[in-house]
Amino acid sequence: MSSVKKLGDFYLGIWNSLPHPGFIVKSNYEIVAANSASETYCSTSRTRISGRMISSFLSESSYILKVIRQTKKQQTPIVAHSVDIYWVGRNVEICNLYCSPLEGSDDSTLLLIQPTTKVNKMNRNLLHQNAARSISGLAAMLGHEIRNPLAGISGAAQLLAQNANDEDLKLTDLIRSESKRIGDLVSRFEIFGDIAPVIRTSLNVHDVLEKTKELAKASFSQHIRFFEDYDPSLPNIKGNFDQLTQVFLNLLKNASEAVPATGGKIKICTSYRSGLKLLSMNKRIENLPITIEIIDNGKGIPSDMSDSIFEPFIGTKKAGSGLGLALVSKVIADHGGSIEYSSMEGKTVFNISLPRQGLDEDELSDYNIHSRLLSKDGAA
């Protein structure tokens, strides 16, 4: 009997170690068992989940119910990818579903749910970081290759202007003004060419946020009400004060321009959330427990730009260069962190995750594999 018990404990351990919510559902749609991940997913204990009808967590037309019915009818496993799922207490998520008849049982079905929304967002974020990094070399080259001939063009136009008539002066002035405009654009672009290592020191992220908020209130955010929800026990991070100030200044400026002229609100939140890990561009696993959220009640980001706002030259402002959020993404990536966002009419949230200072060596490992996300059970 002891060997049987050990084997049962072994399989129970596997069941509860699965990173995604799993349920055993009887033919009458009653949940008879759930794993540990289901507690986080359902925001309640397994004892409260067991005995409930799975339909009580779903809408009547839920695709999950159709998959369960089809699995029971065909008695074969079914896998469904990229399905929109509404689960009580959660926003609509894109999920992969795995449903299979339970071996050794005539009326029970195994259901596994794999939410993919956050992973897809983070994978897109990694691609944006790649784009920002790859453009650094191009920026450094352009800064040199364009400025030299540009100076010659501008100087030649200045010399021509000394002996030009009124009609030709219009053309030389046009050449000089356009040369200056190109020079200004190169200056904005050259910031991506700064590929020197980031000098980081120990700092409290609240000091950065407070300085940034005061700068914003003194200039472009005078009409906006600010709210703070800080975690005072947050540990220090290792970062560059000036670069992080520029990051949050960019985000606050975007939020300020998005909120209504009357009743505009921006909320800044900080918290400590264990569980999220990222395999960074230097192939080191980074724990990212320091979370900063900037929330505004603005008009939101257009849906047709939702997948590309962190890419260079993509922006919502007609007069903008489209480099602001690309720069934000690059700086956060240089700090070993991650940035993502969610947006709808009346609420946009930018979420930044950063590593804390002084992680133990066993929490950081080198892997010679392709960069990808690692997310533990319970990650926000």
Q: Where are the domains of the chain?
A: 12-115, 130-193, 201-375
Residue 316 structure tokens:
């919502």
For residue 169, pLDDT beyond 80? yes
Just give the CATH number of 12-115: 3.30.450.20
Q: Which amino acid is at 343?
A: S
In angstroms, the CA 332 to CA 324 distance is 13
204 or 376: which carries more pLDDT confidence?
204
- CB-based burial label for 254 (10 Å; 0-12, 13-18, 19+): buried
Question: Which ranges of 43-164 would DSSP assign to H, the alpha helix?
Answer: 46-49, 63-74, 117-162
Supply the pLDDT for residue 363: 39
Which H or E element spans position 351? strand 347-354
Q: Which amino acid is at 147?
A: R
97-116 tens-digit pLDDT = 999 998 878 789 999 998 87
Whether 229 contacts 266, CB under 8 Å:
no
In angstroms, the CA 271 to CA 214 distance is 21
Whether 122 contacts 373, CB under 8 Å:
yes
- CB-based burial label for 4 (10 Å; 0-12, 13-18, 19+): exposed
Supply the pLDDT for residue 202: 92
For residue 253, pLDDT beyond 60? yes
Point out the least confidently predicted range of 12-16, 112-116, 125-129, 171-175. 125-129
Supply the pLDDT for residue 367: 33
**Single pTM value for the model:** 0.55
In angstroms, the CA 379 to CA 353 distance is 12
DSSP state of 364: -
Point out the least confidently predicted range of 39-48, 75-84, 315-324, 358-367. 358-367
Question: Which residue spans within 194-250 are E strands per DSSP?
Answer: 201-203, 225-229, 237-239
For residue 187, pLDDT beyond 60? yes
CATH number, domain 201-375, options 3.40.50.2000, 3.40.50.720, 3.40.630.30, 3.30.565.10: 3.30.565.10
Supply the pLDDT for residue 133: 54
Share of the chain above pLDDT 70, in %: 73
DSSP track, 208-224 = HHHHHHHHHHHTTTTT-
In angstroms, the CA 131 to CA 133 distance is 5
In angstroms, the CA 243 to CA 240 distance is 5
Supply the pLDDT for residue 360: 43
* Three-state secondary structure call for residue 138: helix
Angstrom CA distances, 307 to 310, 327, 352, stand at 8, 16, 17
- Could you tell me which of 212, 160, 204, 353 has the C-alpha nearest to residue 275? 353
Angstrom CA distances, 47 to 21, 42, 102, 110, 224, stand at 15, 12, 21, 18, 46
For the chain, the farthest-separated pair of C-alpha atoms sits apart, in whole angstroms, at 106
| Residue 317 pLDDT class (50, 70, 90 cuts) | low
For residue 257, pLDDT beyond 60? yes
In angstroms, the CA 183 to CA 148 distance is 10
The stretch 32-50 carries a mean pLDDT of: 90
In angstroms, the CA 340 to CA 214 distance is 24
In angstroms, the CA 334 to CA 275 distance is 21
343 or 225: which carries more pLDDT confidence?
225
Crossing angle between the packed helical segments 117-162 and 166-190, to the nearest 10 degrees: 150
- Name residue 84's beta-bridge partners: 94
Q: Which amino acid is at 91?
A: N
Pick from 146-160, 236-250, 297-311 the range whose average pLDDT is largest: 236-250
